[in-house]
Amino acid sequence: MERAEDPIPRRLRVLPSRLVNQVATSANRLVDQALAEPGLRRHHYSLLAALEEFGPASQAALGRRTGIDRSDIVAAVNELAGRGLVERSPDPDDRRRNVVTVTPAGVRQLEELDRLLAGAQEELLASLTGAEREQLVGLLTRVADHQRSQ
């Protein structure tokens, strides 16, 4: 919908990369606000989600699975362990490595984070119908998968 008073040039308004960036900025703000309530950040959520879905893993494997840099994994795992949300134990196959496991408290925290993030998603996509949301997620997934394969 074009507005006569819109100060943004048309060629900018129709650039997919610009639109994705604008939405990503809003999405990041909403997610950060939601996760701030329990005092956590996106990488904490990613680690808990990976551990809950795939089971115990080494810190290196967690970094590969979540895209979090290895140097940041240690600090994030330390923070989660300090809250009792994960446990570290020596890897029985390689004592130089730690295996990280989500605790029952971590699973409960993840469920709460899921609830908070669902609210952020609702706010972000409030202007779309359910069918449009599904279509958007499908299209963005295709674009992301294609970009990952490059």
Instruction: Report the C-alpha gap between 24 and 58 in whole angstroms.
Output: 30
CATH number at residue 145: 1.10.10.10
80 within some domain: yes
Residues 135, 138: Cα–Cα separation, whole Å: 5
pLDDT bin (cut points 50, 70, 90) of residue 95 is confident
What distance in Å separates the CA atoms of residue 34 and residue 60, rounded to the nearest whole number? 28
Q: Looking at the domain assignment, is residue 13 inside a domain?
A: no
Q: 105-116: per-residue pLDDT in tens? A: 999 999 999 999
Average pLDDT, the chain: 94
Number of other CB atoms surrounding residue 136 within 10 Å: 13
Q: Is residue 36 part of a domain?
A: yes
CB of 87 closer than 8 Å to CB of 100: yes
Asked, for residue 95, whether it belongs to a domain, the answer is yes
The SS3 call for residue 83 is coil
Q: Is residue 97 part of a domain?
A: yes
- Cα–Cα distance for residue pair 54/40, rounded to 1 Å: 21
What confidence score (pLDDT) does residue 113 get?
98
- The pLDDT, as a whole number, for residue 61 is 94
Write down the pTM of the prediction.
0.87
Quick check: is 7 in a domain? no
Q: Does 29 map to a domain?
A: yes
**Degrees (nearest 5) of the Cα angle 134, 145, 132?**
15
Is the confidence at residue 2, as pLDDT, over 70?
A: no
The residue-averaged pLDDT of 112-132 equals 98
The answer to the question of residue 96 being in a domain is: yes
Range of the domain at 95: 18-149
Whether residue 91 is predicted with pLDDT greater than 90 in this model: the reply is no
User: Looking at the 3D structure of the chain, how many domains does it have?
Assistant: 1
Q: Are 70 and 63 in contact (CB under 8 A)?
A: yes
